[in-house]
């Protein structure tokens, strides 16, 4: 019997790509961080401005990444961009971080938050065991079919957005307003420059992380020069509106003392608005919504490891794909690292460690937009970053301020991040010495 021609590889549409961006962003941070922010900030205006500023950083970053993705349309994200703009060594370090931390750590955080929400609703549920089962189940789905994984992503993300919109609407109608002012007074503006605002912005920036998720899949996006910038901007803009609206409802409906120090702020606010029974139901729904976040990271992350394997002979085994075009070996590596984080670390340790090292490479990537325009002005640019050079400068200023603060006030987590880079540098140098890289 003659061999049948292979089917055309599945291409990610604008809708699927936008769903991946939204799912990567809407997850752990927005459902967990407000309780820590209100410990140092009491102003409703300043608390909402945290989410506006975080969204501004993400939007500026998305505009810059859109130009880089259109000019260099290939999967791999920062690994590909930094290799081309600066040096393969820096690209390798970025890929090393993405492979070991960039997706495995946030996947672990989302799975851990899912477990905590579920345990708050059903105390008998073992949170860690549930986190592990969700990661393994989604890995199995994404290892079988990219098309099935994409359909799952769109479906679960659509449910997530619908639930959040309904939550915001129901909160406006049913909540008892709290005595908190959202119109700024003179003292509120001073809080925007306070140390507490800087601390909180670290957590908010993590909540917005994922805005660049689609660039890791460039090679699988249909018409990437046209669709990728649109995907990045649409996904980020939707999330900004959802985040500001959701945190407004949390503050509008729930007394600040009840939110202070709580990890499951969505569950606390839902119980305040709807009562204990419906609050438990909403807590369960939020736990289910976090499945979308875990799924999107399991879908996107292995593509970076795959591209590194294509470029680096020492890692060639990780570039192998299945008959359906799925990098199964890279997928299994990422899942193993995710499980390691879940089993050995706390939520806060993983968040601060990952936040520092990931912010460092997004900073270098946006800075690379200036370098690329200077070094390669002839490069075709189907899309140019809107607002250049203001938008990348805003991103660099705000991100740089956050990085400096983490280095100064969170030295342990920063040192762990720098140690990860040092190990990656050793791997790179050993590979070169053996002519493997």
Residue 8 lies in a domain: no
Tokens 């010495």 label which residue?
433
CATH number of the domain that 129 lies in? 1.20.1740.10
Residue 310 lies in a domain: yes
Residue 84 lies in a domain: yes
Give the gyration radius of the chain's Cα atoms.
Answer: 21
Give CA–CA dist 339/320, Å, rounded: 22
Short-list 101, 113, 78, 92, CA closest to 334: 101
Domain ranges, residue 385: 14-433
Tens digit of pLDDT at every position of the chain (437 positions): 444 444 555 677 788 778 777 877 776 778 888 888 888 888 889 999 999 999 889 888 888 888 887 788 765 678 788 988 999 889 888 878 877 787 888 888 888 888 888 888 888 888 889 999 999 988 888 777 656 556 666 677 777 788 888 889 988 998 888 888 888 887 888 888 877 787 788 788 878 877 776 566 666 677 766 777 778 788 888 889 999 999 999 999 999 889 888 877 888 888 888 888 888 888 888 887 788 778 877 877 787 777 777 766 666 777 777 777 778 888 888 899 899 989 987 777 787 788 888 888 889 999 999 999 999 888 888 778 888 899 999 999 988 888 887 788 778 878 888 998 998 888 888 767 665 44
pLDDT for residue 436? 47
DSSP for 146-182, written as a single string:
HHHHHHHHHHHHHHHHHHHHHHHHHHHHHPPPPS---
How many distinct structural domains can be found in the chain? 1
Contact in structure between 223 and 73 (CB atoms under 8 Å)? no
How many residues are present in the chain?
437
User: Greatest CA separation found in the chain?
Assistant: 80
pLDDT for residue 3? 44
Residue 9 lies in a domain: no
Residue 6 lies in a domain: no
pLDDT for residue 121? 81
Residue 1 lies in a domain: no
244: Cβ contacts below 8 Å, ≥ 6 apart: 48, 51, 52, 55
Residue 2 lies in a domain: no
Residue 336 lies in a domain: yes
Give CA–CA dist 156/296, Å, rounded: 10
3-state SS class at 437: coil
- Could you tell me the sign of the dihedral formed by the alpha carbons of 284, 289, 294, 298, in that order? positive
């Amino acid at each position: 019997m003659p061999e049948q021609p292979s089917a055309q590889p599945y291409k990610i549409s604008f809708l699927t790509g936008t769903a991946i961006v939204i799912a990567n962003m809407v997850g752990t941070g927005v459902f967990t961080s407000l309780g820590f922010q209100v410990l140092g900030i009491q102003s409703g205006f300043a608390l909402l401005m945290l989410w506006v500023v975080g969204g501004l950083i993400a939007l500026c970053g998305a505009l810059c990444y859109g130009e880089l993705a259109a000019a260099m349309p290939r999967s791999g994200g920062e690994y590909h961009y930094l290799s081309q703009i600066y040096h393969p060594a820096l690209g390798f370090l970025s890929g090393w971080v993405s492979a070991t931390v960039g997706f495995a750590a946030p996947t672990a955080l989302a799975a851990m938050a899912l477990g905590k929400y579920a345990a708050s609703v059903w105390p008998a549920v073992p949170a860690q065991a549930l986190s592990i089962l969700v990661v393994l189940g989604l890995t199995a789905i994404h290892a079988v079919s990219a098309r099935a994984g994409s359909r799952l992503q769109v479906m679960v993300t659509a449910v997530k957005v619908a639930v959040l919109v309904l939550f915001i609407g129901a909160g406006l109608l049913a909540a008892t307003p709290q005595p908190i002012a959202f119109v700024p007074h003179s003292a509120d503006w001073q809080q925007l420059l306070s140390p507490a605002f800087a601390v909180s912005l670290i957590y908010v920036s993590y909540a917005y992380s994922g805005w660049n998720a689609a660039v890791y899949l460039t090679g699988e996006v249909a018409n990437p020069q046209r669709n990728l910038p649109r995907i990045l901007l649409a996904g980020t803009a939707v999330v900004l509106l959802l985040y500001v609206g959701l945190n407004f409802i949390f503050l509008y409906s729930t007394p600040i003392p009840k939110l202070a120090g709580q990890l499951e702020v969505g569950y606390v606010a839902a119980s305040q608005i709807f009562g204990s029974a419906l609050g438990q139901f909403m807590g369960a729904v939020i736990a289910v919504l976090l499945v979308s976040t875990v799924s999107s990271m399991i879908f996107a992350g292995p593509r970076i490891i795959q591209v590194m394997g294509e470029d680096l002979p020492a890692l060639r085994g990780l570039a192998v794909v299945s008959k359906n075009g799925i990098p199964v070996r890279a997928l299994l590596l990422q899942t193993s690292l995710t499980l390691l984080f879940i089993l050995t670390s706390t939520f806060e340790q993983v968040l601060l460690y990952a936040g520092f090292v990931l912010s460092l490479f997004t900073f270098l990537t946006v800075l690379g937009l200036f370098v690329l325009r200077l070094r390669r002005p002839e490069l075709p640019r189907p899309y140019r970053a809107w607002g250049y050079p203001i938008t990348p400068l805003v991103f660099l200023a705000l991100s740089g301020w956050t990085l400096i603060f983490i280095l100064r006030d969170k030295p342990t987590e920063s040192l762990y991040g720098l140690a990860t880079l040092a190990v990656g540098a050793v791997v790179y140098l050993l590979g070169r010495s053996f002519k493997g890289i």
